[in-house]
């Protein structure tokens, strides 16, 4: 009985007939302009922790200085930690059986191709799940929430000192909408209760908005404000020119079931807190057929990681509905 995988009965052309080759799905993800990887250190901050878990607190920060008169008591401003949260890294696996006959009769290097495909599939799933469990989930919080219990983009974040933070916008991606989010980012308060003056470091969009994002930010060849008949300088290029613009098909509505997926976009500071905890990277082991009960080799593959938002700080999300 054939149990599946690569064997001479399920794939006879590769082992019994003189075919000249075979067709495989060729990936071009990294050739896509401004492709986002879940291992991009700007968009996913690497965190370390013991074992497969990560535990963190939010910190209130120190308080503001106070006016003090001669011989007045110096004001005391307590600092403290709160909103403890724990995540566990997720194990991902794949087991590829290869019959001993397939290994011995391989005419086209299929065994080597299996190993290449496994490595590529691991990167694909890492990117897909890493993006869908963070930025694609930013407005719903169905997979991950911030330590205050809110989705990454929310009008109801609360700091440890009791301030309400709104980092949820509704403007569509254009010059005016981008400027609204830039202002929201600049005026966002930190845990200490003071304005943090964050500056835009990156804009992330679903792939269908990539053209709009590039046109909105402009270039040295097109320094004027886009979609306007007026000769106004494009502030996003002249002032905020060094911004990482990324796009992902995993944010588009075909791959992302979230409401308003096709219009939602993200603006981050370099100080944002979307993170990745990697317990271990891709590990592959070829287990020989002599260790099996059915004369089958196995390529055992696994990795262990988790993406998540540590905090809403330095982030603004817009659902693009207005």
CA-CA-CA-CA torsion sign (21, 24, 27, 28): positive
What local confidence, expressed as pLDDT, does residue 104 receive? Answer: 80
Confidence of residue 135 (pLDDT cuts 50, 70, 90): very high
Mean pLDDT of the chain: 86
**How far is the C-alpha of 274 from the C-alpha of 268, rounded, in Å?**
10
- Establish how many alpha carbons lie within 13 A of residue 277's alpha carbon, considering only the half-sphere containing its beta carbon: 21
Q: Looking at the predicted structure, is the pLDDT value of residue 16 above 90?
A: no
* Residues 29-59+85-318, CATH architecture: Alpha-Beta Complex (3.90)
- pTM score, two decimals? 0.84
Confidence of residue 223 (pLDDT cuts 50, 70, 90): low
pLDDT digits (tens, 9 = 90+) for 48-98: 877 899 999 999 999 889 899 998 998 888 899 999 999 999 999 999 888
Burial class (CB in 10 A: 0-12, 13-18, 19+), 189: middle
């Amino acid at each position: 009985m054939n149990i599946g995988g690569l064997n001479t009965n399920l794939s006879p052309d590769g082992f019994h007939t003189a075919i000249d080759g075979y067709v495989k799905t060729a990936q071009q993800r990294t050739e896509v302009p401004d492709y986002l990887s879940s291992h991009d250190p700007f968009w996913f901050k690497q965190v370390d922790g013991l074992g497969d878990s990560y535990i963190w607190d939010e910190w209130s920060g120190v308080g503001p200085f106070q006016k003090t008169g001669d011989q007045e008591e110096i004001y005391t401003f307590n600092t403290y930690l709160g909103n403890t949260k724990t995540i566990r890294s997720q194990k991902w696996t794949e087991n590829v059986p290869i019959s001993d006959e397939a290994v011995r009769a391989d005419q086209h290097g299929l065994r080597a191709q299996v190993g290449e495909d496994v490595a590529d599939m691991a990167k694909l799933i890492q990117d897909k799940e890493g993006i869908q469990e963070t930025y694609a989930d930013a407005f719903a919080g169905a997979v991950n929430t911030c330590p205050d219990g809110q989705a990454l983009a929310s009008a109801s974040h609360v700091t440890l000192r009791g301030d309400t933070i709104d980092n949820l916008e509704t403007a569509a991606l254009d010059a005016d909408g981008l400027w609204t989010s830039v202002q929201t980012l600049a005026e966002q308060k930190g845990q200490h209760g003071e304005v943090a003056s964050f500056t835009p470091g990156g804009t992330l969009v679903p792939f269908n908005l990539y053209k709009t994002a590039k046109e909105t930010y402009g270039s040295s060849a097109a320094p004027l404000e886009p979609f306007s008949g007026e000769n106004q300088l494009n502030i996003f290029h002249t002032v905020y020119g060094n911004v990482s613009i990324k796009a992902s098909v995993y944010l588009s509505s075909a791959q992302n079931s979230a409401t308003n997926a096709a219009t939602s976009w993200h603006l981050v500071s370099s100080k944002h807190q979307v993170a990745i905890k990697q317990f271990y990277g891709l590990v592959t082991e070829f287990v020989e057929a002599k260790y099996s009960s059915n004369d089958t080799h196995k390529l055992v593959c696994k990795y262990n990681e988790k993406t998540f938002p540590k905090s809403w700080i330095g982030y603004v999300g817009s659902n693009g509905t207005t």
